[in-house]
Chains A and B, each alone.
Chain A
Amino acid sequence: RKEVEQDPGPFNVPEGATVAFNCTYSNSASQSFFWYRQDCRKEPKLLMSVYSSGNEDGRFTAQLNRASQYISLLIRDSKLSDSATYLCVLGTSYGKLTFGQGTILTVHP
């Protein structure tokens, strides 16, 4: 079983749509959780950290369920600029990251 598994996608949605990505992880000792965004041929960039209490940043909401080992990302009111690959990422205290395979999102007019 992969350490981090994501929805295979790809997701193709119209502008303004709400889209949700899911991610499960197998290592219950994982300490930190993130969603990264990667544009084509670019390095990943942190979108947001994920906490058990849930966190929201504008149109983006992330949620962590430690009991179920499940992470989610919700994007509301999708924009064309949201088109990218979204990576579910687990981290250790010293910076080692484990990446999911990524889910491709395409937002069309």
Chain B
Amino acid sequence: GAVVSQHPSWVICKSGTSVKIECRSLDFQATTMFWYRQFPKQSLMLMATSNEGSKATYEQGVEKDKFLINHASLTLSTLTVTSAHPEDSSFYICSAMDRPEAFFGQGTRLTVV
């Protein structure tokens, strides 16, 4: 089946620094990718829809200037958490659709100290 690769799988960073997470579709092209966030004991919440060649669409309550999304090619979307703070610590997961199924990256566990 289709594979979505996400990197890094975990990262620890200091408050105030920025972290970039990459999401790649390895054997299919994805004009649209999705970024989710999952806090402990909660379900996945959609943060934004990443559109190749155009601006991302953010869900209500998600700061676009804090969570920068770039989708420069049909196989790569990146999420940059800028000026990270401890409350940004979470599990971030990307997904891409290879019809009819959505495939997920392995997730990135971000810890901000």
Interface residues of chain A, those whose CB is within 8 Å of chain B, are 32, 41-46, 49, 87, 91, 94-102
* In the assembled complex, B93 has its CB within 8 A of some CB on chain A: yes
Does A95 lie within 8 Å of B96, measured CB to CB?
yes
Alpha-carbon distance A42/B107, docked complex (angstroms):
7
In this complex, the interface size class of chain B, counting residues with CB under 8 Å from chain A, is 20 to 34
Instruction: Please name all residues of chain A whose beta carbon is closer than 8 Å to the beta carbon of B44 when the two chains form the complex.
Output: 44, 87, 97, 99
Instruction: Please name all residues of chain A whose beta carbon is closer than 8 Å to the beta carbon of B105 when the two chains form the complex.
Output: 43
Alpha-carbon distance A23/B45, docked complex (angstroms):
17
Does A46 lie within 8 Å of B43, measured CB to CB?
no
Alpha-carbon distance A97/B102, docked complex (angstroms):
8
Measured between C-beta atoms, what is the minimum distance from A51 to chain B in Å?
12
Alpha-carbon distance A41/B41, docked complex (angstroms):
11
CB interface residues, B 83-97, toward A, < 8 Å: 91, 93, 95-97
Instruction: Please name all residues of chain B whose beta carbon is closer than 8 Å to the beta carbon of A101 when the two chains form the complex.
Output: 42-43
User: Total A-B residue pairs with C-beta atoms closer than 8 Å?
Assistant: 46
Contact with A along B49-76 (1 / 0, CB 8 A): 1000000000000000000000000000
Does B91 lie within 8 Å of A97, measured CB to CB?
no
Interface residues of chain B, those whose CB is within 8 Å of chain A, are 32, 34, 36, 42-46, 49, 91, 93, 95-97, 100-102, 104-107, 109
Does A97 lie within 8 Å of B43, measured CB to CB?
no
Measured between C-beta atoms, what is the minimum distance from A10 to chain B in Å?
11
Closest 4 CB pairs between A and B? A95-B97, A43-B104, A99-B43, A101-B43
Does A95 lie within 8 Å of B34, measured CB to CB?
yes
Alpha-carbon distance A51/B44, docked complex (angstroms):
23
Does B109 lie within 8 Å of A97, measured CB to CB?
no
Alpha-carbon distance A87/B100, docked complex (angstroms):
18
Does A49 lie within 8 Å of B43, measured CB to CB?
no
Instruction: Please name all residues of chain B whose beta carbon is closer than 8 Å to the beta carbon of A49 when the two chains form the complex.
Output: 100
